[in-house]
Amino acid sequence: MAHQISLFMENRPGKLNTIIKAITDKHIAIKAFTIASADKFGIIKMLVNEPYKVRELLRDSDLTVALAEVMVIEIDNISTNMVSITELLLSKGINIDSAFGFTLSKGGKTLFVIETQETAQIKSLLEDKGVKVLSDAQIYAL
Amino acid sequence: MVDILQFFIPQKGAGVYWDKDTELMGKDELEALQLKRLKDTVKRASMAPFYRDLGLADYTIKDLSDIHRLPVTTKQDLRDAYPYGLVCSSRDDLVRLHSSSGTTGTPTVVYHSNHDIDAWTELVTRSMYMTGIRKTDIFQNMIGYGLFTGGFGLHYGAERLGCLTIPTGPGNTRRQLKFMKEFNVSAIHVIPSYALHLADTLETMGLDPEKEFPHFRLAIVGAEPHSEETRKKIELAFGIDAFNSYGLSEMNGPGVAFECPEKNGMHLWEDSYLMEIVDPDTLEPVKEGEEGELVLTTLNRHSMPLIRYRTKDLTSIIPGTCPCGRTHRRIRRITGRSDDMLIIKGVNIFPVQVEQTLIGMQGVGRNYQIILESRGNNDHMLVRVELDPAMFSGDIGALEGLRAKIRSKLRDELLITPEVDLCEPGSIPIPAGKAIRVIDKRNI
């Protein structure tokens, strides 16, 4: 299973810069990036091509890191296709912990990153419906 | 039927003195009274298990200087003697207790008999009368009632004086202001920061505090150390006189020392308390006028006398006599503490209470820090808590939950609600030697 990085961070100027620099200095590619903020602290979620290496890198800098299992699906049209996916998950009573979507600039395809405890189940459900679920290698090679 | 006894009870409250004989008592007479009461106190205290174990009965008191040979009593002793180890009277004689707030540590409890409540009330009445409060005043008591001594202490004093007494207690600013206006309140008891908050509130409502309350003329401020500047601010905002007061629950509560109209130091009632100012390290007396820790012995408490209680409050005696004529010596404003106790919004808090609350909580790391600030005229308490990295799952909801839980546990322990920040592990500096847990940025 593929993983993304979750990072606990206090909201302070310069903090983000330090983290990004630590990762990119090692020539690790950041594929996707979100921040969920709660007042004075936040959680950064990052899709990177070498999550285990990044975890060690950040831990060495005394940062609080966790890995979360993710899956990435590829859809053509976010507004029409998303509905069928969310309806499908709803009918099976599956909950999503966290998710974000983005559109690749060249291919025009939309990628959707889902964090859930039930990756395997969702994967088979979606594949049955003909939704493209990216393999780990495909994710890390994005 | 006429109660003939009334002719033998000395009338209190003539002219500017409530108890002229005591307040103006000459040095020799006052010291003779102190010696008599000290002997009686030591004899009584020796019957309490704590002092019996210390062998207090073996000390003979011939003159007042013998006090220096007696053992001191600390807050920790009160905890160790919990619940009844310092009580020397029969349990049946006790009519009230007051206690510190803590839920994690052992509380410190002080017990009173009817005599003790009466003697305490008398001191408070004397103090209030000294500031100029009379039976014609309408008195609003904005200090906490309950286990805290501040509310009850002044309440009983005001009633004995004959004031119409309004026991609002603290908080609910709009109601305070409504009552002050509608009942023509002329005197209040308040913590200094809250007095300023009342003035600010009126100003934001577009009202002039001085014009809003034409009858308001006097405030007794206490329970919180404050500067001369703060007093002047309060006086100016409302166009009133503000008087500083001093007390601590171990010595009954308010009414230990109070300012007279001279507003230059607080007369400590020496008929009821034997005062020493000592070097906190050596416990040797300092020279008169020099700063040291205030050590007090109760001279008129029957059920739970305390011998040489270390208040940990730093002050000094103002040498010389006061123009008001009262012979009881004056102490200066409390300048600090010889321990780490904090007074936040009038509540006594020890950093260890925060520590004990955080220890063992899941998700909490090894370090914390307390930051105190003034926001407007209010104290603001922030507790920064390091996160335990092992507990981090990447779920922001879990972090919010942890923060809320820490906040509520601290509120239960401290009785005030601090703001809580979760911090990265290792982000709170650990200085070499004793960790600096508290950063106090307040303007006192």
Tens digits of residue pLDDT in A107-130: 667 888 888 778 888 888 888 888
B111 pLDDT higher than 90: yes
Q: How far apart are the C-alpha atoms of B84 and B49, rounded to whole Å?
A: 8
CB contact B423 to A (< 8 Å): yes
Sheet-wide strand order for B364-375: B419-423, B378-387, B364-375, B438-440
From A6, A64, A68, residue closest to B425, measured CB to CB: A64
Q: How far apart are the C-alpha atoms of A25 and A17, rounded to whole Å?
A: 12
pLDDT (0 to 100) of residue B393:
85
The nearest CA of chain A is from the CA of B423 a distance in Å of 6
Indicate the pTM of the whole model: 0.75
Question: Higher-confidence residue: B353 or B53?
Answer: B53
A42 interaction partners in chain B (CB closer than 8 Å): 396
Q: H-type helices in chain A, by residue range? A: 15-24, 51-60, 78-91, 119-128, 136-140
Interface test with B, best of A6, A8, A117 (most B CBs within 10 A): A8
User: Could you identify the residue written with the tokens 């100012």?
Assistant: B277
Q: How far apart are the C-alpha atoms of A141 and B267, rounded to whole Å?
A: 81
Query: Least CA distance to A44: which residue of chain B?
Result: B394
Question: Higher-confidence residue: B406 or B415?
Answer: B406
The nearest CA of chain A is from the CA of B408 a distance in Å of 18
Number of alpha helices (DSSP H) and beta strands (DSSP E) in chain A: 5, 7
Which pLDDT tens digit goes with each residue over B15-44? 899 999 999 999 999 999 999 999 999 999
pLDDT (0 to 100) of residue B156:
98
B65 pLDDT higher than 60: yes
B7 pLDDT higher than 80: no
How many of the other CB atoms lie within 10 Å of CB of B429?
Answer: 9
Q: How far apart are the C-alpha atoms of B269 and B257, rounded to whole Å?
A: 6
pLDDT (0 to 100) of residue B101:
58
Q: What share of chain B is helix, strand, coil (3-state, %, to 5)?
A: 35, 25, 40
pLDDT-based confidence at B4, cuts 50/70/90? low
β-pairing, B187-190 with B138-141?
A: parallel
ipTM: 0.76
Across the interface, do A64 and B400 touch by the CB < 8 Å criterion? no
How many of the other CB atoms lie within 10 Å of CB of B83?
Answer: 12
Q: How far apart are the C-alpha atoms of B404 and B419, rounded to whole Å?
A: 10
Q: How far apart are the C-alpha atoms of B16 and B73, rounded to whole Å?
A: 36
Q: Which of A88-97, B225-234, B273-282 ranks highest by mean pLDDT?
A: B273-282
Q: Count contacts between A and B (CB, < 8 Å).
A: 49
pLDDT (0 to 100) of residue B26:
96
B344 pLDDT higher than 80: yes
Asked if A65 and A57 count as a contact pair (C-beta separation under 8 A), the reply is no
Asked if B425 and A62 count as a contact pair (C-beta separation under 8 A), the reply is yes
A80 pLDDT higher than 80: no
- CA B377, distance to chain mean position in Å, is 20
Question: Higher-confidence residue: B411 or B258?
Answer: B258
B6 pLDDT higher than 90: no
Across the interface, do A65 and B425 touch by the CB < 8 Å criterion? no
B8 pLDDT higher than 60: no
Burial of B58 (0-12, 13-18, 19+ CB in 10 A): exposed
Average model confidence (pLDDT) across chain A = 84
Average model confidence (pLDDT) across chain B = 91
Across the interface, do B424 and A62 touch by the CB < 8 Å criterion? yes
Least confident of B55-69, B104-118, B322-336: B104-118
pLDDT (0 to 100) of residue B348:
84
Task: Tell which residue, B433, B409, B424, B435, has the closest CA to residue B354.
Answer: B409
Dihedral sign of CA atoms B11, B12, B13, B19 in order:
positive
Long-range contact set of residues B224-232: C-beta below 8 Å, sequence gap at least 24 = B224/B191, B224/B192, B224/B193, B224/B343, B224/B345, B224/B346, B225/B333, B225/B334, B225/B335, B225/B336, B225/B343, B225/B444, B226/B192, B226/B193, B226/B333, B226/B444, B227/B333, B227/B444, B228/B333, B230/B192, B230/B196, B230/B444, B231/B192, B231/B263
User: Could you identify the residue written with the tokens 């903090």?
Assistant: A15
Interface test with A, best of B367, B371, B395 (most A CBs within 10 A): B395
Query: Which residue type is seen at B62?
Result: K
The mean pLDDT of A77-87, rounded to a whole number, is: 75
Q: How far apart are the C-alpha atoms of A11 and B424, rounded to whole Å?
A: 10
Q: How far apart are the C-alpha atoms of A85 and A96, rounded to whole Å?
A: 12
